[in-house]
Structure 1
Amino acid sequence: MAAGLVAVTGATGFLGRHLVRELATAGYRVRILARRDVIHPLWRDLEVEVVLGDLGDERALDRLCRDAGLVVHAAGLTKARTAAAFAAVNVEGARRVAERTSGRMLLVSSLTAREPSISDYGASKRGGEDAARAVLGERLGVVRPPALYGPDDPETLPLFKLAASSPILPLLDPRARIAMMHVADAARQIAALAKAPGGFNVALCDQRPEGYSWREVFQTAAEIFGASPAYLRIPGFALRAVAAAGLLAPRSGAAPMISFGKVREISHLDWSVRPEEQMSDLPAPLFDLARGFLHSVQGYEASGVIFGKPAAIREKMLQTYSADGVKYATFADDRSRGTHL
C-alpha cells in the first residue's frame, strides 16, 4: 500500500469539503470519489485525485480504495422518505466501502447513531457502523459529529435568516441540550483521527460537551444581528403537523426537511456528548458558538446572502473577539483560500 494515500467518500459534501483540505494540509495524498470532476474553491491550491462514480459503482469503489492505507467514509444520506432509502446509502454504502478497504477505515457517522430508535436516519447511521465493523473489526474507527454549522451550510442558513428577520423566535423544550460544532473544527479533529489506530468510537463537540439549550442557540444567532427578539414555546404537536404536511407533498419531489423522524430528533432531550464518548488528545476547537455563528454569517454574506442587517454590528463583534487575545481562524483568513463559497 502506498504510504500517505487517503481515499475519501463524501468529499464534496459540507463536511467533506473541509475534511479534504485538512487531510491534504496534514500531508496526505488525497483521492476522492465524486460524480463529476470538481475543483472546489477550498482546494484551489491542492492536488486532489478524482475517481468518477458513486457508492453504487463497484468499479469506481475498487479504483478509489486501491492501495489506500486509510479510507475515510464520509458519504451519507441525510434526508429520505423511507427507511429503505436511508439504508440503501448509509448501511449498504458503508458495507461496500468496507469490503474494499485493505487498510484502515474511518467512518464518519452521526451522534444520532447513539439513539437508533429515534429516527430512520439514526438507525441507518448505526446500521452503517455495524455493517462496516462486521467486515473490518478493529481496523474500523468511528467518529460521531454533533450538529454541525459553518459558512457554507445550506441546512443552518434558515436559522440565521429567521434570527435576522423575525421579532419572535421559536423555543423547544427548555430541558433539551444539543451539542454543536463548527465544521472546520470537526474537520480538523477528524483529520487528526486519521493517524489513530482503529477500534475506537468517539463523539465530537466544541468546548461545551454538555451542549446548548435551544434558547442559547437562537439567542446567540440573534445577537449576531444586534436583535433582541421575544421567544415563543413551540409545542410538539405543531412540529408533528409540519411533518404530516411533508408527507402529503408530491412523492416525486425532494424529501421533506421536517419529517417525523427529524421531529423526534430535535425533540430529544439529550444530544450532549458524554465523557466516555470523548477522546482527550484531539485538537482543541477554535470556535465557540458565538465566534462560530459570527464566522458563518460573514461567510454567507460574502457569498451573496443578504440578511438586511448592517455588517457594522458583526465587524464590531469581530474586533471584540480579536481584542480578547484568543487566536482563531477568522473569515478574513479563510477568504484568501476561497472558503466562503
Structure 2
Amino acid sequence: MSAAAHGTGMNTFSDVAGKTAPSQADKPAKSQPDGRADHQPGQNTGCAGTGHLTGVRVLLTGGTGFVGRHLLPQLLEAGAQVTCLTRSSSHIAHLPQGVAVAQADLGSGRGLAEALKGQDMVIHMAALLFGLGWQDYLRANARAARSLADAVMRADRAACTGENGGSKGIRRFVLVSSLAATGPCGTAPGVEDDTPPTPVSAYGWSKMLTEQILGRALGDRLVTLRPPIIYGSGDKGLLPVFKGVMSGLAVSPGAGREFPVSAIHARDMGQAVICACRPEATGVYHLSDGQEHTMSSFCRIMGSAVDKALEREPRRVRVIRMPLPVMALTAGLSSAFGIMADALLARLPARFGGRLRRAPNWNMDKYREARQAGWLCNGSRIRRELGFTPCMSLEAGMKEAVEGYRREGWL
C-alpha cells in the first residue's frame, strides 16, 4: 500500500516530517528509567543533520544493541521523538534521556499494538545474527517481520477509525537488512541495489524473507538498507578479531587469495538510517564507506589502531590465510558443540537455561559466507539520491572502536 493511497484524507509522510514537535506532555506515556545519560542537542558527533525529523514519532527496534547506541543520539539530534521497543531482559540503563520505552515480544507480537499507538514511523533493526540452524533464524527474523507487518496493518485500521493515539498511521518503515540478503560478490564495485538476491546462508535467507514479508504488507512505505560489515565501539561480534589482532594474529578465508569486503562504521550506519527516513527515499539501498577493503588490510588497520590505543611500538599483524577445508572443520566442530550444549541447557529450567543459551559466533552458517569470493557492494545510489556521506574512514573508525572497547574494559 503506498503512502499516497493510505486512507482517505490522511497526510503524506512529508507532512508528518515537517510538523511542529508537540510538548513533552503530548508524548505517549511510556516508562522512563532513571540513571540514563542525558542527551543535549549538538552533542552528537555523527554526520546527521539536525531537525530533519522534528516532531516525528519513531518506534525503534534493536535500539539497545550495538548499532542502536550510535543511532539513538542521531535520531534525537534530528528532532525525532523516539520510543525504544525492548524485551523484559533488555539493558536500558544506557538509553539517552528523552527516549521512551515500550515492552513487546516480536516473536509472538504481544505488546506491539500498544507500542505502535501514536507512532508515525518504524525503524526495525532487531535481528538474530548468530543461530544454531535455519529454525533459529526463521523464528527470530522472519517471524518478527510477520508480527510487525500484522501489527502495522492493525495500526492502519485503527488510524482510519481515529483509535491510534492521534497518529495517521505508519507512514514510513525503515528496515535494516543485510548484504547477506543480496549475496556475495568478489569483484568491484560489488552488487548493485537492483541485483537479484541470491543468499548463501540461513541468516541471509531469513533477511531476504524479512524483506519480502514486509514488502508485501507495506508496499512503497518500506525502505530497506543492506549494510555490509558494521563495526565500531560496542560491537561484541568483532571483539574476538580485535583480541587476535592485539596478539599479532588474524585469519582471512582461503589459502592463496585475498578476501575483498565492504564495511561501514556504526556512526555512518546511523546516518544512513536518518537519510532513509527522508520522504524521497525508495526501495533498497546498499551501504558502504565507499572503499574496497580486503580482510588483510582490514585487520592490519585494526592492528595499527590497537597499537596506538595501547601506546606501544607498532607490531606486525600476521594474517593467516586459512584453507577452506580447515575452516569447514572448525566451523563444523563449533556448530556441533553449540548444538550439544544447547540440548543440555534445554533440560534446565527456563530461567537458567534461557539465559545461558548462546550460539557460537563461528559456525557452519558463517562458514557458508566465508567460503565465497568476497562481500562487496556498491553504495553509490544512496549517496547520489539522498546525500548520504560517510564520515568515518576505516582508520578513524577503528580508532573509535578500540577506544570504545577500552572504555568498556574489553581490551
Structure 2 distance, partners of 1:286, 1:279, is 12
Aligned to 2:391: 286
Aligned to 1:132: 214
Aligned to 1:320: none
Q: Deviations over 1:16-41 (max 9, x none)?
A: 22222211211010011111475443
Number of positions where the alignment pairs a residue of Structure 1 with one of Structure 2? 301
So what's the TM-score if we normalise by structure 1? 0.82
Aligned to 1:273: 377
> Is 1:264 the counterpart of 2:368 in the alignment?
yes
Q: Relative to 1, partners in 2 of residues 1:275 and 1:34: Cα closer, same or farther, differing over 3 Å?
A: closer
Aligned to 1:142: 224
Q: Relative to 1, partners in 2 of residues 1:162 and 1:31: Cα closer, same or farther, differing over 3 Å?
A: same
Aligned to 2:62: 10
Give yes or no for contact 2:258–2:296 (8 Å, CA) kept in 1.
no
Structure 2 distance, partners of 1:38, 1:68, is 23
2:94 aligned residue (41, 44, 52): 41
Task: For residue 237 of structure 2, give the secondary structure of its aligned residue in structure 1.
Answer: coil
Task: For residue 47 of structure 1, give the secondary structure of its aligned residue in structure 2.
Answer: coil
Give yes or no for contact 2:288–2:378 (8 Å, CA) kept in 1.
no
1:74 aligned residue (125, 129, 136): 125
So what's the TM-score if we normalise by structure 2? 0.69
Give yes or no for contact 2:241–2:250 (8 Å, CA) kept in 1.
no
1:162 aligned residue (244, 251, 267): 244
Identity %: 27
Give yes or no for contact 2:288–2:379 (8 Å, CA) kept in 1.
no
Task: For residue 97 of structure 1, give the secondary structure of its aligned residue in structure 2.
Answer: helix
Aligned to 1:85: 136
Give yes or no for contact 2:87–2:103 (8 Å, CA) kept in 1.
yes
Give yes or no for contact 1:185–1:286 (8 Å, CA) kept in 2.
yes
Aligned to 1:117: 199
Give yes or no for contact 2:104–2:115 (8 Å, CA) kept in 1.
no
Q: Deviations over 1:85-137 (max 9, x none)?
A: 21112112112212222322111101110024310000000000000001111
RMSD: 2.0
1:245 aligned residue (317, 326, 333): 333
2:407 aligned residue (297, 302, 317): 302
Task: Give the letter for the 1:111 counterpart.
Answer: L
Aligned to 1:214: 295
Structure 1 distance, partners of 2:329, 2:293, is 26
Q: Within 5 Å, which residues of 2 pair with 1:179-258? A: 179-197=262-280, 199-208=282-291, 211-224=292-305, 225=307, 226-249=314-337, 250-252=340-342, 253-258=357-362
Structure 1 distance, partners of 2:252, 2:143, is 37
2:72 aligned residue (20, 36, 40): 20
1:61 aligned residue (82, 93, 112): 112
- Gapped regions of structure 2 (runs ≥ 5): 1-10, 17-54, 153-168, 184-197, 308-313, 343-356
Give yes or no for contact 2:275–2:281 (8 Å, CA) kept in 1.
no
- Gapped regions of structure 1 (runs ≥ 5): 307-341
Aligned to 1:314: none
Give 1:213 deviation, angstroms.
0.9
Task: Give the letter for the 1:282 counterpart.
Answer: G
Task: Give the letter for the 1:9 counterpart.
Answer: T
Aligned to 1:336: none
Q: Relative to 1, partners in 2 of residues 1:38 and 1:213: Cα closer, same or farther, differing over 3 Å?
A: closer
Give 1:142 deviation, angstroms.
0.5
Q: Relative to 1, partners in 2 of residues 1:193 and 1:170: Cα closer, same or farther, differing over 3 Å?
A: same
